[in-house]
Amino acid sequence: MSQDTVSEKDPKLGSLPEAAPGSEQTPAKVHPEYDISIFRDWCKQCGICAAFCPQKCISLDENGAPVVDQADKCTGCRWCELHCPDFAIFVKELVSKEVKPEEAD
């Protein structure tokens, strides 16, 4: 007797515990926000930051200078920062202020 498939109701396997009624589920993770700073005096407008940004948060203006267009899409990977030859870009995670329940009133 070969057992290629296992029945979901096999008593030997047991069952996964179900969530108790009224129990709290874990809240969804909040996407952290990031601030992207460009030091214009150091930037030589090479475009590497815009080219390496996987989320396309940075674009180039008509003069070739980098512009942060969509900071809300930034994942904080820091590829722009790591590849900038002039250290002219800095990515910083913004600290969110959590409101305590007693302060919400």
Domains of the chain from N-terminus onward: 34-95 (3.30.70.20)
Task: Judge if pTM exceeds 0.75.
Answer: no
Instruction: Report the C-alpha gap between 105 and 83 in whole angstroms.
Output: 46
- Residues 17-26 as b/e (b if ≥16 CB within 10 A, e otherwise) read eeeeeeeeee
Q: What is the pLDDT of residues 41-58, one digit of tens each?
A: 999 999 999 999 999 999
Q: Per DSSP, which regions of 1-105 are E strands?
A: 34-38, 58-60, 66-68, 89-93
Q: What is the pLDDT of residues 3-50, one digit of tens each?
A: 554 444 555 555 555 555 555 665 566 778 999 999 999 999 999 999
> Which residues are bridge partners to 89 per DSSP?
38
